[in-house]
Amino acid sequence: MKLVIDHLQKKYGDKEVLRDISFSFESGKIYGLLGRNGAGKTTLFNCLNRDITCDGGSFYLETEEGPREVAAEDIGYVLSTPTVPEFLTAREFLKFFLDINRKSIPNPKPLDEYFESMSIDPEDRDKLMKDYSHGMKNKMQMLINIVAQPNLFLLDEPLTSLDVVVAEEMKERLRSLKEGRVTIFSTHLLDLAVDLCDEIVLLSHGTLERVDKATLDDEAFKEKILSALREENHA
């Protein structure tokens, strides 16, 4: 399976954020979408999620049965600032999610098994989520998307504000989940992209460019990437 983006465009007024982007993302890999804050990473995700309307181009899934439109149920979207219903406990939220999606989630597991898979302690499972830390809310947002088993997993800088232990747990979990789906992980941190991702794609000046990780051992090439990011920041 592949996610194919074909001549995608998006403008805000006179600012062209996405400029005629064409790219293919293969399943089974984690792609690092590397770009400065404001480069258009969230805009690209919002176009793929259909939260905003593209000004041109298209995108679709290429499957063994042929190309097809990306449906809402194909997408899991983890935001940089986690959004959870704070008036519910984690257990209530997970149970509600499983209940309303029972037809699309095959062989659901016991609730505690899901919590254990994300290292959510027993004493935290029946707390109101309004009392959760940012990292705990992020874990719940990630858990819900994992339960849904999306074909396309979009992660918008989800590790930036997490402590080291939680961030490492999240990275290991993402590595274990990459098979059978397209995973795109946005970040503005080059070292994080190199550590976590199988492929790196640079979003700069509204276009996507594949970066060969092997060339990052070359300090001159690495500086070229960093310079491109600095230029984007001041454009």
Of 209, 218, 19, 197, the residue nearest 228 (C-alpha): 209
pLDDT at 49 over 90: yes
Instruction: Tell me the CATH number at 139.
Output: 3.40.50.300
User: What is the extent of the structural domain holding 98?
Assistant: 2-234
Q: In total, how many domains does the chain have?
A: 1
pTM given for the model: 0.87
111-134 pLDDT, tens per residue?
999 999 888 999 999 999 999 988
What pLDDT digit, counting tens, does each position of 66-110 carry? 999 999 889 999 888 888 999 999 999 999 999 998 888 878 899
